[in-house]
Structures are given as structure tokens and as C-alpha cells.
């Protein structure tokens, strides 16, 4: 498999001189299976430059797996040019949301209303298909198996494990480690803590042994203390997750949009330094736009 990052920022695009090295586009990852099938993880603004490179491959089939419906993971979808070209096949996968009673079709239904976008959904010329997924129920894309895992975010959020011919990738999407809502000594603390541990172990098992873990590491430990419950991870937690799951490589992503490249490198180095023993065995890197990995 091959992986390429097209967007690594979180929350809002942040182009400019201070984000030039790592990039300012929001989340989008391109994966090519061994059969060159195209899998795209999320449709943040990074999907627009990806689309430019795909025009030479027409007609094409694209499998887009959406982690969740927050803006920074969907805002590039209406600008994914292949959806407007006849002969292309686009499949959008995502969670069924019990609150709205809708699957991934709602992402496009809402965005492509005239109130928000000048081109309507009915004007898409490609063959467009919506596929609602359930947690832990795998789908096949040629030789690859894609398995959704329910993670922790303020909306229904899937992480995805992709396995192909003995190689594997896991992308968390946006994910905050589960935490106890009770204080130590409160009634309910122990019971809730056991549920958290059960959830933690189930996530570790789902990620177990992956070649590449791409994880939401938006915050430092100090920042996380002030933003607990917002649904995002931190560098230290991601390193610990990769260690516990036995991942071979960790790519930290969903970079805080207000953080310059220089500051990003600084806080990343500090976190790795706190886990120097883990870093001796685990390859830990910052994701950046244009980075390609062949596994």
C-alpha cells in the first residue's frame, strides 16, 4: 500500500508563511492499494489538490471514507472535481447517525444546498453512491479490507483500519482518549473507570500491530488540560497508544491551526523527549502535506 498526506491541519485551513513546511489544508489522506484502488480518508480542503492530480486518471473510481461530519473533514468534498465528471464512480462511506437518522448522504445533502454552495447535488454527473457503515463491520475494496471503529468525539466518529496483503494502516480521525467524568471517591467512579478501561483495551486491540498509525495529536498536555472534552488527542497520549498497540510507525496529525511550523516542531520534540524510551523502538513523525509512505 501507499499513503500520501494531502491535509494535516485541524479545525480550519491555515495557509501562510508560518505553516508552509507542514501545510495548511485540513484532513485528507490518499491510500493506494496494491491493485492501485483509490481510498481517500476524509474530505477536508486537502482533497482539492488531490483532485487535480486525479484528472489524468479518468474515468476513475474513488472510495471516500469519512470519519465524521465536522467541517474540517468534509469542507473539500464539493470541490472534489471528479464528482462533476460523467463516467466516474464515487462512493462515500460513513457512519449512520442515530441522532439525525441519516447516513453519509446528509454530508452532501446539507453542503450542496443553494444556501451554502452554488451547485446542487443533483447536478453531479458522476455515479455517486452513499454507503452507511456500522462499527466493526468491514467492507472490501479490491484486496483491501476497511474496518470502522467507533472512537470518542462530540459526534459519531469512525477510525479506520485498512489491511491489504499483510500490511496495515489505522487512522483515528478525531479522537480523545476516554476519561472519567466522576472524581475519585464519587459514587460511580469505579464502575465508570472499568468501562473506560474496557474501551481503551478494545481500541488497542483494533489497532494492534499496524504498520502505520495516523493519530489526532492536536494538543500539548497543558493545552489539553484546558480543552478536555473537546474531542481531540495530545502528543503524549498518541505515543502511548502507539506503544501499547505495538504500532511500527506513528504519524501525528490534526495540527493545531494557530501553531506555526516552528512551534509545532518544538512541542513535538518535547513530547518525544518525554517518551525517549518509546522512541528507541517506535518511529514517531509529524505528518506534513506531500509526505508519501510506501509500506
Average pLDDT over every residue of 199-218: 97
The rounded distance, in Å, linking the Cα atoms of 288 and 157 is: 23
Parse the chain into domains and list their residue ranges: 2-294
Q: 213: helix, coil or strand? A: strand
Considering only CA atoms, give the Rg of the chain: 19
Average pLDDT over every residue of 16-22: 98
The rounded distance, in Å, linking the Cα atoms of 36 and 286 is: 26
CA dihedral 137, 201, 238, 189 (to 10 degrees): 120
Tell me which of 2.160.10.10, 2.40.160.10, 3.60.15.10, 3.40.50.2000 is the CATH number of domain 2-294: 3.60.15.10
* Residue range 217-262, pLDDT digits in tens: 999 999 999 999 999 999 999 999 999 999 999 999 999 999 999 9
pTM exceeds 0.85, yes or no: yes
All residues at 6 or more sequence positions from 19 whose CB lies less than 8 Å from its CB, including other chains: 9, 260, 261
For the cut 90, the answer to whether the pLDDT of residue 19 exceeds it is yes
Alpha carbon of residue 218 to chain centroid: 12
Mean pLDDT of the chain: 95
What is residue 188's predicted lDDT score, i.e. its pLDDT? 85
Q: Which of 34-43, 117-126, 131-140, 277-286 has the lowest mean pLDDT?
A: 117-126
What is residue 184's predicted lDDT score, i.e. its pLDDT? 86
Amino acid at each position: 500500500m501507499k499513503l500520501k498526506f494531502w491535509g494535516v491541519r485541524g479545525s480550519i485551513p491555515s495557509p501562510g508563511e508560518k505553516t508552509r513546511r507542514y501545510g495548511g489544508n485540513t484532513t485528507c489522506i490518499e491510500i493506494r492499494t496494491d491493485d492501485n484502488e483509490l481510498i481517500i480518508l476524509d474530505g477536508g480542503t486537502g482533497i482539492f489538490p488531490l483532485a487535480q492530480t486525479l484528472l489524468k486518471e479518468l474515468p476513475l473510481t474513488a472510495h471516500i471514507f469519512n470519519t465524521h461530519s465536522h467541517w474540517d473533514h468534509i469542507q473539500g468534498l464539493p470541490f472534489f472535481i471528479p464528482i462533476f465528471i460523467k463516467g466516474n464512480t464515487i462512493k462515500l462511506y460513513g457512519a449512520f447517525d442515530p441522532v439525525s437518522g441519516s447516513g453519509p448522504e446528509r454530508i452532501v445533502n446539507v453542503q450542496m444546498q443553494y444556501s451554502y454552495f452554488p451547485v446542487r447535488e443533483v447536478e453531479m454527473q458522476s455515479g455517486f453512491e452513499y454507503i452507511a457503515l456500522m462499527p466493526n463491520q468491514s467492507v472490501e475494496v479490491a484486496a483491501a479490507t476497511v474496518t470502522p471503529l467507533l472512537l470518542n468525539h462530540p459526534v459519531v466518529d469512525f477510525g479506520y483500519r485498512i489491511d491489504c496483503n499483510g500490511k496495515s494502516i489505522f487512522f483515528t480521525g478525531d479522537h480523545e482518549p476516554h476519561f472519567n467524568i466522576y472524581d475519585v471517591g464519587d459514587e460511580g467512579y469505579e464502575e465508570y473507570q472499568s468501562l473506560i478501561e474496557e474501551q481503551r483495551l478494545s481500541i488497542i486491540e483494533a489497532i494492534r500491530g499496524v504498520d502505520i498509525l495516523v493519530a489526532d495529536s492536536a494538543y500539548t498536555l497543558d493545552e489539553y488540560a484546558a480543552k478536555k472534552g473537546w474531542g481531540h488527542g495530545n502528543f503524549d497520549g498518541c505515543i502511548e497508544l502507539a506503544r501499547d498497540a505495538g504500532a511500527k510507525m506513528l504519524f501525528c496529525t490534526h495540527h493545531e491551526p494557530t501553531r506555526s511550523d516552528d512551534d509545532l516542531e518544538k512541542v513535538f520534540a518535547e513530547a518525544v523527549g518525554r517518551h525517549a524510551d518509546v522512541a528507541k523502538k517506535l518511529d514517531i513523525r509529524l505528518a506534513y502535506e506531500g509526505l508519501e509512505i510506501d509500506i
